[in-house]
Amino acid sequence: MHDVGSSSLFRILLSTLLIAFALGCGDSSTATNDGATDSDGSVSDGEDRGDGKADNGDGSTPPGDGSTNSPYTEVTGPLTWESEADFSTPVQGVVCKRVTYLSEGLTIEGTACRPAAAGKYPILMVNHGLNAYGQSYVANYASKGYAAFESAYRGEGMSDGEIEFCKGEIYDVRRMLQIAKTLDYVDTTRVGMIGFSHGGCVSMRVLLAEETLHPGSILAVSNVFGPADMADVHRLWANELNDITLFFLHPRLTQGIQDLEEQCGGKPDQVPAAYAERSPVTYAEEFKKFNTSIFIGHGVPDHIVPVSSNCRLASDIGGFDAWHFGFGDVITASAPVNCGFPGLAWKGGAAPTSTFPAKRTIMIFDYADHDTGTLQGPLMLARANAHIDDKLSP
């Protein structure tokens, strides 16, 4: 099978994407893109986590003792926005607000959008990639009939704190969800999440905490090229430093590796538990217990998040309908490159488009990179959105 990730064409197409992602991996201890500076990460208001890094960010303790079945705790804090202000959007028929709220003593920025018409709408948490806050088109999801919420997370937008790489961000999203459930325009019986890249990892770990504490509370999650194993991400970035065709990206890749190592306390072989606690694949046995409908979408030539990790995640969890989209969007009943894991039976025939009968679905695309706007990216996004629509419809 042709490995599209090795072609010169795809390296050219992916260069721009790598630049954007590498900027998102910039020094999290400096000002963010919009001029916001990070705080020292101190905590207050009765939401103490010790040094701010003693737990998993979702209320559980790290799996450093070899156990992944750690207890999860409820998020705590005021059940109201700290501030809210209307802002205009070109999307018609929706109402959007910029909000702030407290999360472990940090002030976190977010966006809340809903249809303008009165009613009770399903909650959709939209979880963005690194430094992509405000680019996930929350208003567009509101125009489809969702009460859509996007946390900037700590260290991004105008939020306090530092980027923690799928750790403290979990608490930030859970706090926003907790507040969202108190609003008079939401239907708390229909809750879903969609996450992109870093936000895909965040979505899976929010699911882990919320379903452990409140079984059946989240109906569906669509994970679009989210990291499943942070150690694999580190290895991929390190390997790309040896790729001469990406020489102009090496400074940014180096910075991304440095930031990840700073948050984790070292390289994967030095502090494996720090990478494991951030990685959804660590918790595969727990995901097996949940009835939440899960969709995973990923592209073979992704040079930012390795596709193999999500295939391994699906294999370890089990129960996935697996679909392989080849050239011309033709379904291929064989494993994609780097996805030959046991327990994944690659199906033939027509793949789901609007109705997803399986509880768990993974779709791998030979011509989708780390972007939903080019090549097979729009098809992947359409399937991710359709999965949410199917599971959250009345």
CA distance 203 to 207: 6
CA distance 58 to 66: 18
Name the architecture of domain 4-392.
3-Layer(aba) Sandwich (3.40)
The runs of H, that is alpha helices, within the chain are 8-24, 138-143, 168-180, 198-213, 230-240, 250-264, 272-277, 284-287, 307-317, 377-392
Contacts of 368 (CB under 8 A, 6+ apart): 297, 298, 299, 300, 301, 302, 325, 375, 376, 377, 379, 380
- Give me the pLDDT at residue 57, please: 63
Amino acid at 371: D
Q: What is the pTM of this model?
A: 0.84
Residue 75 DSSP label: -
- Give me the pLDDT at residue 59, please: 58
The rounded mean pLDDT for the chain is 86
- Give me the pLDDT at residue 51, please: 32
Report pLDDT digits (tens) over 251-263: 888 988 999 999 9
User: Hey, what are 227's tokens?
Assistant: 């990291």
User: Hey, what are 214's tokens?
Assistant: 């409140």
Q: Which residues of the chain have pLDDT under 70?
A: 1-71
- Give me the pLDDT at residue 33, please: 31
CA atoms within 13 Å, Cβ hemisphere of 287: 27
Where in the chain are the domains?
4-392
